Structures are given as C-alpha cells and as structure tokens.
C-alpha cells in the first residue's frame, strides 16, 4: 500500500513525504495566494506521468539492451474551463538518442513501458486524452502507429 504524508508549512505551502522520507514542496499559484515556493499539484501530475512512463520505458529499453545516451520527456496539458479544472488533453514527448536503436524496437519498449505498464498513465487516461510522440535520434514521430508504422512528422 502506498502511504504519504503532507504537512502545511505556512501560507499555501505544503511539504509532502513518501514512505521512504523523500520530500517535495508544493505551493499554489499566485491567484490562490501562493508564493512560488514549490511545484503546483497539477504540474506534479504531469511530472508523475513523465517520471512513471520514463522509468517504465527506460526499464524496457534496458531489458531489450537498447543503448541510449540521452532520454528526456516533456509534457504539457490543457485544462477545462469549468471547475474542477481537470486535464482534458495531455501531450507527452520522449526524446531518445542512442546508437543502434531501431524504430521498431523503440516502439516496442515504448508500448510496454508507457502504454501497458505505467500506472499513472493508465489512471490518467480514464479522464484525459493522452497524445504521445517521440524523437528518436533526431527524427520526430507521432504515436499511435499508422498502418504498422509510427507516423513521422
């Protein structure tokens, strides 16, 4: 069972700790009285999504012995106007550099990690459309596959 603790630190600042004692600071946006002392909770959801898929895709690439030298993930999201202002659409892009990584093998690692195994992605897709893309060795692709191949952009 996952267990965390969040403690108010004053104003709109909260500090969260996981079961191993790792901590992070959260703060509200200025419109809610925040003072930019920490991550906003909705942005933390995007960080969690990128982190979870990154860990899972990285693990799949490691198991497949795909040698990568660089791996970054960016994400942005659209929120609905009405309250609660949940994410309605999320865009996630993976940028990977490495020698000898074929498109087919990377897509397999991506599908295993991001689509199948990432718990955060599978929870968020129930309420938000998630669009995936990736840049593999400088070539941009959109996901899902089109006629068996990722559509280059």
Element (H, E) at 122: helix 119-124
Taking the C-alpha atoms of residue 116 and residue 106, their distance in angstroms, rounded to an integer, is 14
DSSP state of 129: E
Residue 84 shares a structural domain with residue 128 = yes
Structure tokens at 131: 């669009």
Only one residue has tokens 């920490």, namely 38
Domain count along the chain: 2
Summarised one tens digit per residue, pLDDT across range 101-123 is: 999 999 999 999 999 999 999 99
Express each pLDDT in 20-47 by its tens digit.
999 999 999 999 999 999 999 999 999 9
* Burial category of 73 from C-beta neighbours within 10 Å (exposed 0-12, middle 13-18, buried 19 and up): buried
The verdict on 30 and 76 lying in the same domain is no
pTM of the entire predicted model: 0.91
Q: What is the CATH number of the domain that holds 75?
A: 3.30.300.20
Give yes or no: residues 140 and 129 share one domain.
yes
Whether residue 135 sits in one domain with residue 70: yes
- pLDDT tens for 131-149 read 999 999 999 999 985 655 5
Give the domain range for residue 11.
1-39
């Amino acid at each position: 069972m996952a267990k965390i603790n969040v403690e108010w630190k004053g104003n709109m600042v909260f500090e969260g700790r996981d079961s191993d004692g790792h901590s992070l600071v959260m703060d509200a946006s200025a419109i809610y009285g925040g003072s930019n002392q920490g991550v906003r909770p909705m942005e933390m959801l995007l960080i969690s999504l990128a982190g979870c898929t990154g860990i899972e895709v990285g693990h799949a690439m490691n198991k497949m012995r795909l040698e990568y030298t660089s791996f970054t993930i960016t994400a942005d999201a659209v929120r609905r106007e009405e309250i609660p202002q949940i994410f309605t659409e999320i865009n996630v892009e993976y940028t990977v550099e490495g020698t000898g990584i074929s498109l087919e093998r990377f897509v397999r690692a991506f599908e295993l990690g991001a689509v199948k195994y990432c718990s955060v992605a599978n929870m968020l897709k129930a309420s938000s459309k998630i669009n995936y893309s990736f840049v593999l060795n400088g070539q941009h692709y959109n996901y899902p596959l089109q006629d068996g191949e990722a559509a280059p952009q």
